[in-house]
Structures are given as C-alpha cells and as structure tokens.
Amino acid sequence: MATYDLTAHHIIEPGGPIALSTEKLQVFYGRQQAIFDATLNFPANQITALIGASGSGKSTYLRSLNRMNDKVARVTGKIMYQETNINDRTINVYAVRRHLGMVFQRPNPFAKSIYDNLTFALKATGIKSRTILDDRVEQSLKEAALWEEVKEDLHKSALALSGGQQQRLCIARALATQPEILLLDEPASALDPISTAKIEVTLKRLVERYTIIIVTHNMQQAARLSSYTAFLHLGHLIEFDKTPTIFQNPEMTATQDYITGNFG
Ligand SMILES: Nc1ncnc2c1ncn2[C@@H]1O[C@H](COP(=O)(O)OP(=O)(O)OP(=O)(O)O)[C@@H](O)[C@H]1O
C-alpha cells in the first residue's frame, strides 16, 4: 500500500447549521488506536457519507458518535451535540441514543411483533398512552416507507418480514423515539438491489427532517445519496468536502487513489 502523510488533511467547514461535531476524537481498543484526532462538523439536514477501505475506522467512528463503543473501547475528545459534550461520562447514554438513532448492517428486529418493536423504547421511557404509541407507530412506519405494506399486520412477528422490510422496520424503530440524527452502518449491504433502492429513496426523503450519517463501502451509493463525504484512512480523517468534489476533484492523493481504485 502506498504511504501517505497521515498528518495532512483537507477538512472543509460545511455551510449552514451544524447538527453534531467531534473535536479531537480518539478511539482506542486496548493499546490499539483506531481513530486519531477526528475533528469534524456534520451539517444538519444533510446526508454525510463515511468512506474508506476496510479497517479504516468508519464503523468505529460512527459507533462512537452515540456511545455504542463505551463497553469495548476508550473514547477521548469531545462529541458536541446541542452545546453539550455527549462523550462526558456523566451523560446518560440511553438519552443520547434517543437523539442519535442507529441502524446496523444486518437487520436486527426483536423477536416480537412489528408494533412491539416500534414501541419498546417508548414504553421504556414511560410513555403508556395507547393513542401516542399508535400515532408513533404509524408515523415512523410511514417515514420508513413501510406503513402500506404492514398496516394490517402490526401484531404479527417482525421476523416474518423480508430482509428489506426488516431493515425498513429497523429504520422505523430508530425513528420512533423522534431522534434528530440517524446513524447508519452499511444499512443496505445485506440487501438485494430493489430493497437497496427503497432504502436509498427513504433516506433521501428523511433528510428533510433528520441529519443522516452513513457508512458505506459502495462508492456509487455514497455519490448518489450524500451531499458531503468524509474519507478515512488508517483511522485518520483525511478529507471532508462536498460529495461531488470528493468524487471529481479531491484535494488529497489518498482520496484520489481510493476513489479511482488505485489504492492498496
Ligand atoms: N471490537 C473491537 N475490538 C478490537 N479492535 C477492533 C474492534 N472493532 C474494530 N477494531 C479494529 O479497529 C480498526 C477499525 O475497524 P472498523 O471496523 O472501525 O473499520 P471499518 O472501516 O468500519 O472496516 P469495515 O469496512 O471492514 O467494516 C480495525 O483495525 C479493527 O480491527
């Protein structure tokens, strides 16, 4: 693999409001450092794609944003959300995750009904009103473009849905707590092209209301979906810019090599 200067980077300041920032974020698995000094402003109501080779730290960075790495890694630096450093140990991680929802690579519905999948976290926060729960179920299924397919089957098992439907259910589940930010870790990589297209159309619509940060291996998907792209290499944020710039005219040689396939 070519050697690049890991201290050099090109990170732009996105225009418009910022939904989330990391300041000198570092992640350590034991002695191994997986993320180095990641400082980035994520623009609100935009899709930001995280790209980079396998092992570059995309999932580690994403999972750190809503404290999913707490039990497996040491995370230092700041994660600023609504003027609060949510990487502070005194911050309740469950509250963080209600604001920053996560969807994983493999659909992982609970072995419960569709309705119970969507109301589980809400009930845990103390919401008991049937009207509120019913409304949230309908709203989040509509937002995830699944309502028409399942509205007669809300009390059937979520495991009876197809893989693509299960993944849209997981998106709906993440939306049910009314987060501001949706984090997605390769949400379509286990799905067929038609299900993938449905997820992409859904995300494009959701960005009007939510800020979306998505890890993807698929560069066409990053180019189609996102308005900003961050390129990571060996745990370093090398470049962050508008997506067309990253794919047509990147500043850094490592980015250029990665997107043209001359990498490694
Ligand atoms: N739970 C863990 N324990 C120890 N090391 C880990 C753990 N998770 C990831 N790593 C290491 O951290 C580095 C970054 O991994 P990460 O999964 O974040 O990369 P990635 O860019 O998302 O890769 P991929 O595209 O293959 O999913 C790798 O060296 C990986 O081996």
Half-sphere exposure of 155 toward its Cβ, with a 13 Å CA cutoff? 1
62 is a domain residue = yes
Please tell me if the CB atom of residue 59 comes closer than 6 angstroms to any atom of ligand 1.
Answer: yes
Please tell me if the CB atom of residue 65 comes closer than 6 angstroms to any atom of ligand 1.
Answer: no
| C-alpha of residue 220 to centroid of ligand 1, in Å | 23
- pLDDT the model gives residue 15: 86
Structural domain count, the chain:
1
1 is a domain residue = no
Mean pLDDT, residues 216-236:
96
Whole-angstrom Cα distance, residue 63 to residue 78?
A: 14
Q: What is the CATH number of the domain that holds 108?
A: 3.40.50.300
Q: Exposed, middle or buried by CB within 10 Å (0-12, 13-18, 19+), for 168? A: buried
176 is a domain residue = yes
The ipTM (two decimal places) reads 0.98
The domain of 131 spans 10-259
Q: In which band, very low, low, confident or very high, does the pLDDT at 262 lie, cut at 50, 70 and 90?
A: confident
100 is a domain residue = yes
| C-alpha of residue 29 to centroid of ligand 1, in Å | 9
Q: What is the pTM of this model?
A: 0.96
Please tell me if the CB atom of residue 55 comes closer than 6 angstroms to any atom of ligand 1.
Answer: yes
| C-alpha of residue 66 to centroid of ligand 1, in Å | 17
Please tell me if the CB atom of residue 64 comes closer than 6 angstroms to any atom of ligand 1.
Answer: no
Please tell me if the CB atom of residue 34 comes closer than 6 angstroms to any atom of ligand 1.
Answer: yes
4 is a domain residue = no
31 is a domain residue = yes
Which tens digits make up the pLDDT trace of 59-104?
A: 999 999 999 999 999 999 999 999 999 999 999 999 999 999 999 9
59 is a domain residue = yes
